[in-house]
Structure 1
């Protein structure tokens, strides 16, 4: 029979910082190594040693349970923290994706508006160019009409001038003499008629 104080034994008082699991394993070891009684399955063990180990283990169980509960709580808090961080990461990624989509839509809409603006400007420039061409064509046509009329008037004046006969030498001499005689000079009867008749010849 093994006594608690026997040499080579490891009593429960030798170590104070032993968990309940270690103490229970010691009990199992003591029972396994105990001497069997002849013709029986019973073994010879130290009752006091085994009871002391069991009582020590039972006394340590509340601490073990508290530590287990604390570890379980820490585990739950850690998992909750990890889950919160994962949710925050997912939310941030979702927000970034939405912003990227919004920026893409804004850029696409800006390109669309710019394209429509450029097309409208081209149409407006085309319309103004056509209006300017029509205006210039109308002005040139009106100027052409005025120029044609002016040319006709000039041509008619030239033709009339060409058809008017030049005064004769006698008429020119008579006119010169009348001018030399001065006012009041009597040029005889019919002198005025002779002077003005030169336009009718």
Structure 2
């Protein structure tokens, strides 16, 4: 029998070694391969071997069971790791999908804003052009009025200048006549006597 903490496989191997030694040390029968073995010792070793075998088998079964349990735990752990990896991959893919969708939405918003800005800029340019064209027409009318006003003023100024020259020439002529008249007396009492 084995004691707790003692390996049954080691006991079995030791018993087989003792059996081997018993047979090897047995006396040979002359002219034969047979040997004289102490029956009691041989049977005792066989009994001990029989009692060690179930113990060794149980121990082997325990080792196999332990190995199976370790393998099962390893499988479970690997399945948990794979599951976590799949969940993480799905989370990352979902995150990438959200980011991709957000980027697509942002691109669409930017494109719409740029299109709207272009339309507004075109509308503003068109409005400014129409306003400037109308202002140009009005300024043309004002320029025509200014030109007409200046022409009227130029005519007046020319007429005024001519009138002033005429007045000056008349005045100059009147002064000359005055001077000529100053030598002549209209008063008969002062008239020279011939």
Q: Could you state the TM-score of these two structures normalised by the residue count of structure 1?
A: 0.62
Task: For 1:84 and 1:114, locate their aligned partners in 2 and report how far apart those are by CA, in whole Å.
Answer: 44
Is 2:50 the counterpart of 1:58?
A: yes
1:160-179 to 2 correspondence within 5 Å?
none
Is 2:88 the counterpart of 1:108?
A: no
Show the counterpart of 1:3. Answer: none
Show the counterpart of 1:145. Answer: 137
Task: For 1:136 and 1:42, locate their aligned partners in 2 and report how far apart those are by CA, in whole Å.
Answer: 130
Is 2:75 the counterpart of 1:83?
A: yes
Matching residue within 36, 55, 75 for 2:28: 36
Paired residues in the alignment total: 153
Q: Mind listing any 5+ residue stretches in structure 1 that lack a counterpart?
A: 1-11, 169-201
Q: Could you state the TM-score of these two structures normalised by the residue count of structure 2?
A: 0.64
Report the RMSD for the aligned CA atoms in angstroms: 3.0
Q: Which has the higher contact order (CA 8 A, sep 6+)?
A: 2
Q: Mind listing any 5+ residue stretches in structure 2 that lack a counterpart?
A: 164-194
Show the counterpart of 1:122. Answer: 114
| 3-state SS of paired residue (2:133) | helix
- Per mean C-alpha deviation after superposition, the further-off stretch among 60-69 and 91-100 is 91-100
Show the counterpart of 1:71. Answer: 63
The structure with more helix, counted as a fraction of residues: 2
Once the two structures are superposed, what CA deviation does each residue of 1:1-58 show, in whole Å capped at 9, x if it has no partner? xxxxxxxxxxx9xxxx562232133213311321111122321111111111111221
How far residue 154 of structure 1 moved from its aligned partner, in angstroms, is 4.6
How far residue 82 of structure 1 moved from its aligned partner, in angstroms, is 1.1
Show the counterpart of 2:125. Answer: 133
